Amino acid sequence: MATGKKVALVTGANRGLGLETARQLGQKGVTVVVAARTLKSAEETAAKLKAEGIDAFPVKLDVTNAKDREAAAKTIGDQFGKLDILVNNAGVAPQDGVFTPKTISTTEEELQDIFGTNVFATIAVTRSFLPLLKKSEAGRIVNLSSILGSLTLHADPNSPIAGVKSFAYDASKAAINAFTIHLAAELKDTKIKVNSAHPGWVKTEMGTDAAPMEIPEGAKTSVDLALLGPDGPNGRFIHLGQELPW
C-alpha cells in the first residue's frame, strides 16, 4: 500500500536513541517503521508510540540476519511501496565499554562482533533497502557514527577524545564514516543524501549516566539529517548542525 507520507525505518528502535529518533520523526508526521531483533519487542515499541499518537509500524529485523533483512525489505515494500528515510541506528559497544583503552589486546572475537554489527550489518541493511529508497522523491540515509570515529581528532593529542581509545569500537565508526563518504559519492547523481551523525555523549546504556546529554537532545542530529531539504549536506559528518572532521 503506497502512502503519501514519508516513511522512515529506524533500526534498533526499541530503546535509547533509536526509540527517541522514531518518536521525534513520528511527531513530525513521518510514518515510522520500528525495527527490533524480536517481533515482540518491535510490536511493543510500536504500541507505545501509537499510544502517543504516532503512526508506527513494527518489523522484526536483526540487522545481522540476512533472512530478516530480506523479509523486512519485502514487508516494507508491500506495505508502503517505498522508503524515504533509513536510520542505521543499531550498533554495539565493547563489553567493557568505550572508555576502556584497548588496542593490541582487543580480541578477534570482539573485533568480529563489533564490526559484524556496526559495519557489515549496516552496509547489508543499506544494500537491502536501497531499491526502496530509490523510489522516494528524496531519500535520506543516516548512519549513526561517533566522534570516536574521527581519525583527525584521535591523532591530535590535545583533542577531547585523545585519551579515549577503544580500538574495535572506534575503528568500526571510522569505517562507517568511510562508508558514508563512498556511498554519497556513488549516489551523487540521485536525490538520495547520505550522512554520518554523531549524536553526542548521551545518557544511554552505552553512554552511561556520566554523559552530559539527555536522550531527546541526542536524537536531534539524526532527525535533522533524516529530514534534510534539497540544499542540505551530503557525505558529511554532522553533530547538531556542525560539521566534524573525519
Catalytic site residues? 169, 173
pLDDT, tens digit, 9 for 90 and up, residues 89-100: 999 999 988 888
Domains of the chain: 7-243 (3.40.50.720)
Q: What DSSP letter does each residue of the chain carry, written as one string?
A: ---SS-EEEETTTTSHHHHHHHHHHHHTT-EEEEEESSHHHHHHHHHHHHTTT--EEEEE--TT-HHHHHHHHHHHHHHHS--SEEEE------TT-TTS-BSTT--HHHHHHHHIIIIIIHHHHHHHHHHHHTTSSS-EEEEE--GGG-HHHHT-TTSTTTT--BHHHHHHHHHHHHHHHHHHHHTTTSS-EEEEE---SBSSTTT-TT-SB-HHHHHHHHHHHHT--TTS--S-EEETTEEPP-
- Mean pLDDT over residues 62-73, rounded? 98
**How much of the chain, in percent, has pLDDT values that exceed 70?**
95
Residue 46: pLDDT band by 50, 70, 90 thresholds? very high
**How much of the chain, in percent, has pLDDT values that exceed 90?**
88
- Mean pLDDT over residues 32-56, rounded? 98
Residue 4: pLDDT band by 50, 70, 90 thresholds? confident
What's residue 112's pLDDT? Answer: 98
Residue 1 predicted with pLDDT over 60: no
**Higher per-residue confidence, 212 vs 74:** 74
